[in-house]
Chains A and B, each alone.
Chain A
Amino acid sequence: MKTIMLVDDSATMLMSMEALLKKASFATQTASSAESALTLLQGGAKPNLIITDLNMGAMNGIELIREARKIPALRFVPMLMLTTESQTTRRQEAKSAGASGWLVKPVDGAALLQVLGQLLPGGAV
């Protein structure tokens, strides 16, 4: 079973996305801030994919991806931004930081699973 790490400062987002991914047979790991996600990742957590919000507390999602990419084990792990922000300049910034894609909230459930299917060959298994 593949694990997806969810990073968002909204409890609703974490709970609903966690339930959605579990329903799609993924294991999940959640963090309510970029800092706590980075602590988990630096501590050896190795999810198969990371989905992060952009605007959170002190550290944002792009900074998290930039830092996470420095961890050798996570160099090729897909990292997605899932945010209300749709600005092209921010997307470019995320791309440069190492993001694999950009999803604008609210993203359709089927569309999200399709993206995950593309990034994780073999699906949740």
Chain B
Amino acid sequence: MIVSAMFGSRWLSLIVGLLIVASSVIVYRRGVSSTFALAAPGSAIDDEATGASGDTSVAHEPPLHSSGAAGSVCDETAAPSGAAELRACTPLSRDDAFEMIAAPASSVSAESAARGSAEEPLAEGRARAVAAELGVYARLTEVVRSQLVGVNEATGREALLLVDRLQNIDSVVDMILGAINRSAEVSGSLVSLSKDEAFAKLLQMGSVSAHDSAENEKEMRSGLADTESLFRFIDEIKEVAEQTNILALNASIEAARAGDAGRAFGIVAREVRKLSTRSTELARRIEKDLTSVFAALQGHFHELLGRSAASQEQMQKTIAEELTIMTDNLSRLLETQDNAIRDVRLRGEEVAALVISLLANLQFQDVTRQQLDSVVQAMTAIDRHNEALQSFLLSTEVAENVPQIQPLLDKMYGTYVMQEQRLAHAAAGVLGGRSEAGEAPAMVELF
């Protein structure tokens, strides 16, 4: 998101603007500012060009926009001073330009005379110096360009990693939900089995009297075997709880790796760990209860087998008590699991919505990639314009015109793929003859 903010489309116009302004400033500093009319008189950098103010052939205006009308004579009446639109300008020929370069030189002729240098060589010398200085910009833009390309590559890699991490978290959450559901199923089976079969038999056994025990011996043995089988369910509950705990731990790790985006997953993971700890505790308690019940039943069984009538009532009472405790604990386990499942499912839905939202947010990378691509293209175009300016300055062709930046800006405008870029371009006042970019249409439109 930071990258998105940093490299908004305004960046493009900023970079383009800065480079052009920088080029203009160099031109100005070297004494040809009056020709190109790029800086305000009286600015800190016009010390060398004070003589130009008296030159009527030069339009001296407040600072022009970065687009500049470099190499043009601009009609002051065509646009009000400070207006955002480009002024109506007439391209200058190289001869005109040199004439104008020479003009300020003549107005500082005292200085020239003092140095004993001729006017023409001074102007040509300045042009050569400007051309050399402009040449430095190609290297500068190359550095910036390669950094922008690097940013694109880096955000692309990071975005892919994020997709991967989000998917990991998502699958862990799905697994947790699966494990919890399974745990609930097992507990549910345990309860229904207890109520429907084993417990019924146990209760029945508890109430079996010594007199009919011989007839029920077979049934009692089977009852004991059923009770024993309940331990397997307990083991399974413990196993699932342990598995859930590990999954929750993984979820915590993934959540931490995902940074801020993973905070919601962290909460789910914590809740699930609490659930698994509580499930394990309850399962242990039920196991203990079951062990007591089982021991009591075995004792009861042996007594019955031994036809001893002693303590029959006491034994039945003990078994009934143990069974009640166990049933209570089982109910509590189910209640805890039900609540947790409801919570985790709800959180799971939140997580699913969050995952979808975060995955959609990754489109930002593609958006910024295209914006940065536009900046890179613009910088390449600026390089070409820069080269044209250099060769113009060094050319001896008589009829050559100063290279114009507007066609380049128009071409740039044509490569934009986003309304934001067009709006930024329009806001910079370099639309040329184009109409305003206008408002952005709806983000979602069904035809």
Q: Is the Cβ of A106 less than 8 Å from the Cβ of B363?
A: yes
Provide the residues of chain B in CB contact with A106, threshold 8 Å. 360-361, 363-364, 366-367
Q: Which residues from 342 to 395 on chain B have a C-beta closer than 8 Å to any C-beta of chain A?
A: 352-353, 355-367, 369-370
B398 within 8 A of A: no
A-side interface residues, number (CB < 8 Å): 40
B264 within 8 A of A: no
Instruction: Tell whether A107 pairs with B360 under 8 Å between CB atoms, given A15-B160, A23-B355, A91-B441.
Output: yes
Q: How far is the CA of A91 from the CA of B322 in the complex (A)?
A: 75
A57 to chain B minimum Cβ distance, whole angstroms, is: 14
Q: How far is the CA of A8 from the CA of B370 in the complex (A)?
A: 13
Chain B contact residues: over half helix, strand or loop, or mixed?
A: helix
Q: Which residues from 45 to 85 on chain A have a C-beta closer than 8 Å to any C-beta of chain B?
A: 54-55, 83-85
Instruction: Tell whether A110 pairs with B356 under 8 Å between CB atoms, given A23-B170, A86-B419.
Output: yes
Q: Is the Cβ of A108 less than 8 Å from the Cβ of B357?
A: yes
Q: Is the Cβ of A112 less than 8 Å from the Cβ of B360?
A: yes
B5 within 8 A of A: no
B166 within 8 A of A: yes
One of B356, B358, B442 near A24 (C-beta < 8 A): B356
Q: Is the Cβ of B417 less than 8 Å from the Cβ of A55?
A: yes
A48 to chain B minimum Cβ distance, whole angstroms, is: 16
One of B166, B359, B366, B447 near A99 (C-beta < 8 A): B447
Q: How far is the CA of A23 from the CA of B356 in the complex (A)?
A: 7
Quick one: closest B residue to A101, CB to CB? B446
Q: How far is the CA of A108 from the CA of B356 in the complex (A)?
A: 9
Q: Is the Cβ of B446 less than 8 Å from the Cβ of A16?
A: no
B-side interface residues, number (CB < 8 Å): 35
Provide the residues of chain B in CB contact with A105, threshold 8 Å. 363, 366-367
Q: Is the Cβ of B159 less than 8 Å from the Cβ of A84?
A: no
Q: How far is the CA of A102 from the CA of B159 in the complex (A)?
A: 24
Q: Is the Cβ of A12 less than 8 Å from the Cβ of B445?
A: no
B443 within 8 A of A: yes
B163 within 8 A of A: yes
A111 within 8 A of B: yes
Quick one: closest B residue to A94, CB to CB? B447
Instruction: Tell whether A102 pairs with B447 under 8 Å between CB atoms, given A19-B167, A84-B417, A108-B357.
Output: yes
Q: Mark A18-41, 1 if CB is under 8 A from B, else 0.
A: 011001100000000000000000
B183 to chain A minimum Cβ distance, whole angstroms, is: 24
Instruction: Tell whether A12 pairs with B362 under 8 Å between CB atoms, given A23-B356, A86-B419.
Output: yes
B156 within 8 A of A: yes
Instruction: Tell whether A12 pairs with B447 under 8 Å between CB atoms, given A86-B441, A106-B364.
Output: no
Provide the residues of chain A in CB contact with B136, threshold 8 Å. none
Provide the residues of chain A in CB contact with B163, threshold 8 Å. 12, 15-16, 19
Q: Is the Cβ of B444 less than 8 Å from the Cβ of A104?
A: yes
- Extra 19 A-B pairs, beta carbons < 8 Å, given A20-B359, A84-B418: A10-B156, A10-B369, A15-B160, A16-B360, A16-B362, A16-B363, A19-B167, A19-B355, A23-B352, A84-B367, A84-B370, A86-B440, A86-B443, A91-B445, A107-B360, A107-B363, A107-B443, A108-B357, A109-B358
* 26 examples of A-B residue contacts, CB within 8 angstroms: A10-B156, A12-B362, A15-B163, A16-B163, A16-B362, A17-B363, A19-B167, A19-B359, A20-B355, A23-B352, A23-B355, A23-B356, A24-B356, A54-B417, A84-B367, A84-B370, A85-B418, A86-B440, A87-B441, A101-B445, A101-B446, A103-B443, A108-B357, A109-B353, A112-B360, A118-B446
B residues sitting closer than 8 Å to A (CB atoms) are 156, 159-160, 163, 166-167, 170, 352-353, 355-367, 369-370, 417-419, 440-447
